[in-house]
Amino acid sequence: MSRHPIVDRAMTDAERQARHRAARPAGAPLIRIRRPIDRRSQAQRWDDSVATLLDQQATYAAWLESLPANLRDSATGEALQAIVELDLADLIAVRPPRGFGRD
């Protein structure tokens, strides 16, 4: 769905800039929010990701243990069982390559 034009002709760059400046309150500072830079190395991010996966797998295993017997054959029970049965030992053993002297 297209928007209806504000005026019958396209605005010039100067008109667009003037409208933008008029919309901002006078004297108010422009606040820009930036996401913090992740300064961890690639290897550290890999280790953190694997640790998160292991933690989630343990959480799902506890959920599966507390699941009532009549729900173990349901779609939820089967999905939890599949997650618990995943072998994450290969991920733990993998060491990412060191890159270009930055790690």
| The pLDDT of residue 1 is above 60 | no
In a 3-state reduction of DSSP, which class is residue 75? helix
| The pLDDT of residue 101 is above 60 | no
Amino acid in the structure at residue 51? A
Distance CA 92, CA 94 (A): 6
Domain ranges of the chain: 13-93
Token couple for 86: 């995943």
Distance CA 79, CA 93 (A): 25
CA 21 to chain centre: 34
- Per the listing, tokens 């800039």 go with 17
Q: Across all residues in the chain, what is the average pLDDT?
A: 86
pLDDT digits (tens, 9 = 90+) for 7-49: 688 889 998 888 888 887 777 777 888 989 989 888 899 999 9
Q: What is the mean pLDDT of residues 87-99?
A: 85
**Are 58 and 66 a contacting pair, CB within 8 Å?**
no
Cβ neighbour number for residue 48 with a 10 Å cutoff: 11
The answer, as to whether pTM is greater than 0.95, is: no
Cβ neighbour number for residue 18 with a 10 Å cutoff: 12
